[in-house]
Amino acid sequence: MTKYIGKSIKRVEDKRFITGQGSYTDDIKIPNMTHAYILRSPYAHANINSIDTTAAAEADGVVAIFTGSDIPEAIAGVPCGWQVDFKNGDTMKEPPHPLLCRTKVRHVGDGIAIVIANTKTQAKDASELIEVDYDILDAVTCPKKAAEEGAPLVHNDVPNNMAFDWELGNPKEEVSAAMATASHVTELDFINQRMVPNAMEPRSAIGLYDTAYDKYTLYTSTQNPHLIRLLMCAFVLGIPEHKVRVVGPDVGGGFGSKIFHYVEEALVIWASKEIGRPIKWTSDRSEAFLTDAHGRDHITNAKMGFDADGKIVALQAYTYANMGGYLSTFAPAVPTYLHGTLLQGLYTTPKINVDVKAMFTHTNAVDAYRGAGRPEATYLLERLLDLAALEMNTDPAELRMKNFIPAFDGVEQEGYVTQVALQYDSGNYEPVLKRALEMVGYEAFREEQAAQSNGKLLGIGFSTYIEACGIAPSAVVGALGARAGLFESAQVRVQPTGKVSVYTGSHSHGQGHETTFAQVVADRMGIPLEDVDIIHGDSDSVAFGMGTYGSRSLAVGGSAIVKSVDKVLEKGAKIAAHLLEASADDLEYAEGKWTVKGTDKSVGFGDVSLTAYVPHNYPEGLEPGLDMNAFYDPANFTYPFGAHIAIVEIDKETGHVKLKRFIAVDDVGNVINPMIVDGQIHGGLAQGIGQAMLEGAQYDDTGQLINGSYMDYCMPRADDFPSFEIDRTVTPCPHNPLGVKGAGEAGAIGSTPAVVNAVVDALWKGGFKVKDVPMPMTPERVWNAMQS
């Protein structure tokens, strides 16, 4: 019985946001609060000879100034949460990431001093009086150059700047033997450029130390409060975890960049005790550009071999992945277990090898950004496929159909075992592509394209992708280097009146959990949606949580909620059985009441919950109360997939690309709230298309981020897009109770290569046989492609 599941219920959280009552971290005011400003390095690589804070300390309103040398040696810095070792077994290089630099800076924006004053302006003014004497050193920003002999070292004890090297799949000899049998090999060198996540709310943190209770509170713009608490307490500051409350209040978007434990969080907590006053730090947008962990940044060479029938026979990929100056929380996992493992794609490729070198450079850290590794894998595969189709003069849609893994539901048919360490849960790939072709009107489009004669070039690009979501089975990721479990927890508290509060370890920063999760609970319990409240983001109320990323909230967090609801109903059945003088086995639960099967004798949920808290007439030996906890650790990842098609028009005179249509057919398993899922797809598409056409962080050779503001970094705007045309198919996930796969990243994963493929297609059809147009495909780059 589903009254809510599958319906586009309007979001319950909207009211506070549309009336200006959202409460983001920077909106929070605490009595006696101070404001911090962080002085940052203007150089990418320099030795710090001295820091003189004397004048600054005397400036108006200054409360305290701390530099790296004020922080106790025992506080080494923020840790990395994932260990990927070298192929030869050597341990991953993991140099410390200090809260403030002591002797050396390693990227522009590295922290030098925290200035704390009564107002933010005073803190900023004072920071300008700090004198830092630097010895500027040569920098390296390109991960490939960083590996060269004689490249400047980011960390003196990390030879060749290599954090680790890594390989997955079939042995290289087997892959090259298979490649040698190919009748056609497509090879491509490309850059998957560095992206700046740009959540619209800049990061912010408030540290508060309460002497009365010897307890700290951290408000922070985070996607996972409990993980921040664990990392900060156990691995950074060495303070007892039960003496710290971490709150992630309303958070204005994350896209990965707010997963990680940042130095500023630990700094405001540590310093708040030192000065005995609360401290707020809020990032400027310029600081956000320099310090929010970036995404992507791969330099790749890849080869795909095809037999005479167009079947893929082998894939070989080599990637240099830029880690930046320090290893951020999840960074090592991104180019490896979230990238290499996806190179099977939707295809039956029998031999695959992927080789990754993870490099330190004098740039800001790179970590998970919407899709995290999976967009890079999809880009690699899908660019090769469309290019191969052009080179072999065959149809790119047919080429894909020919190579798709046949349908399997994961129940009757086993999950598909890949060459790169995964077993897909369920998949049915042809229908998504067929539906997308139908929506686009493929044949008619090809005719229109052939007839085009107005000085414009029309192109179509495809991308059929798969992603590993619902992150993740703890034991599996543990074996792959994760230093944490990736389960989720939930608690259902039933009030005596039958109203229900659900505490989830997932964290919503735009995803609409307060609505979707309530739909799940209300349906499962057969109670009105209004009777369910979803609470998240506060470590003092939510027992535990692993947070939101990797399209995991519904698949993992939602499943934990289902588990606790089921426990509530199980216990409720015992109470109901007692009240009905029947055996629990003879009861059935529907529409909010237990009924003795085959009779009209029933008792409602409200009566049972009241009885649980007023246990006068109560089963012997049963505890009062009706609250239940559950932890859910998924059996596998989930594997959403889809087909994206872009249609572009290039102005031959200017190289300007207009995205005319974008079609996306995604399969994210069962859908609880179609409106919200559509919204997730739209947002992901904009980010993926933004990467293809507009965005990209650019460092110069000295390590300056030369487009670190909205005047220079091209953010996608409303008039850069057409309205999206989207649809979906439904292939349920066989291993979680809701059959859901996750929808947060699909749009960003599938869309990027479709747009680039469309541009390359347009160019080929116009007689310009280029293999690649580097992203972002600015008019200049497209124009240049037409001159070669």
Partner 1 sequence: MANKISVTVNGTTHTGEVEGRVLLVDYLREHLSLTGTHIGCDTSSCGACTVHVDGKAIKSCTMLAAQADGASVTTVEGLSSNGELHPIQEGFKEEHGLQCGFCTPGMMMTATDLLKNNADPSEQEIREALEGNFCRCTGYHNIVKSIQYAAKKMATTA
Residue 304 bridge partners (DSSP): 186, 315
Shortest distance in whole angstroms from residue 122 CB to partner 1: 11
Name the one range near partner 1 by CB under 8 A: 3-11, 92-100, 578-586, 603-611.
3-11
Q: Which of 345, 683, 696, 753 binds partner 1 (CB under 8 A)?
A: 683
What residue spans of 195-239 are helical by DSSP H?
225-230
| Dihedral over Cα of 603, 608, 614, 617: its sign | positive
Nearer to ligand FES, 200 or 711 (CB): 200
Whether the Cβ atoms of residue 304 and residue 314 lie closer than 8 Å to each other:
yes
Nearer to partner 1, 196 or 576 (CB): 196
Name the one range near partner 1 by CB under 8 A: 7-15, 47-55, 207-215, 311-319.
7-15
Shortest distance in whole angstroms from residue 557 CB to partner 1: 17
286 binds partner 1 (CB under 8 A): yes
Q: What b-and-e string marks burial along 771-786, b requiring 16 or more CB atoms within 10 Å of the CB? A: bbbebbbbeebbbebb
Burial of 691 (0-12, 13-18, 19+ CB in 10 A): buried
308 binds partner 1 (CB under 8 A): no
Q: Which does 717 bind (CB under 5 to 8 A by kind): ligand FES, partner 1, none?
A: partner 1
| Residue 68 DSSP SS3 | helix
Q: Which does 711 bind (CB under 5 to 8 A by kind): partner 1, ligand FES, none?
A: partner 1
Query: Which among 202, 201, 247 has a CA at the least distance from the CA of 224?
Result: 247
Whether the Cβ atoms of residue 664 and residue 724 lie closer than 8 Å to each other:
yes
Phi-psi region of 160 (alpha: psi -120 to 50; beta: other; left: phi over 0): left
Can you tell me the distance from the alpha carbon of 600 to that of 98, in angstroms, rounded to the nearest whole number? 68
H or E segment and range at residue 15: helix 14-18
Can you tell me the distance from the alpha carbon of 218 to that of 539, in angstroms, rounded to the nearest whole number? 10
Query: Which among 366, 368, 371, 253 has a CA at the least distance from the CA of 705?
Result: 366
Nearer to ligand FES, 252 or 505 (CB): 252
Shortest distance in whole angstroms from residue 674 CB to partner 1: 10
Q: Which of 588, 597, 709, 780 binds partner 1 (CB under 8 A)?
A: 709
Q: Which of 128, 181, 658, 710 binds partner 1 (CB under 8 A)?
A: 710
Can you tell me the distance from the alpha carbon of 679 to that of 682, in angstroms, rounded to the nearest whole number? 5
Can you tell me the distance from the alpha carbon of 521 to that of 533, in angstroms, rounded to the nearest whole number? 9
Nearer to partner 1, 515 or 559 (CB): 515
Nearer to partner 1, 392 or 675 (CB): 675
Can you tell me the distance from the alpha carbon of 760 to that of 771, in angstroms, rounded to the nearest whole number? 7
Name the one range near partner 1 by CB under 8 A: 14-22, 265-273, 382-390, 652-660.
14-22
Nearer to ligand FES, 252 or 461 (CB): 252
Cα–chain-centroid distance for residue 130? 37
Name the one range near partner 1 by CB under 8 A: 68-76, 339-347, 414-422, 714-722.
714-722
Q: Which does 18 bind (CB under 5 to 8 A by kind): partner 1, ligand FES, none?
A: partner 1
Nearer to ligand FES, 26 or 382 (CB): 26
Q: Which of residues 21-80 bind partner 1 (CB under 8 A)?
A: 21-24, 26-27, 29
Q: Which does 685 bind (CB under 5 to 8 A by kind): ligand FES, partner 1, none?
A: partner 1
Q: Which does 187 bind (CB under 5 to 8 A by kind): ligand FES, partner 1, none?
A: none
Q: Which of 1, 89, 157, 200 binds partner 1 (CB under 8 A)?
A: 200
Interface residues toward ligand FES, by CB under 6 A:
200, 252-253, 510
Cα–chain-centroid distance for residue 509? 12
Shortest distance in whole angstroms from residue 228 CB to partner 1: 18
| Dihedral over Cα of 391, 392, 396, 400: its sign | negative
Contact residues: partner 1, CB under 8 A: 8, 10-11, 13-24, 26-27, 29, 121, 198-202, 250-253, 255, 284-286, 509-512, 675-676, 678-679, 682-687, 709-711, 715, 717-719, 721, 723-724, 747
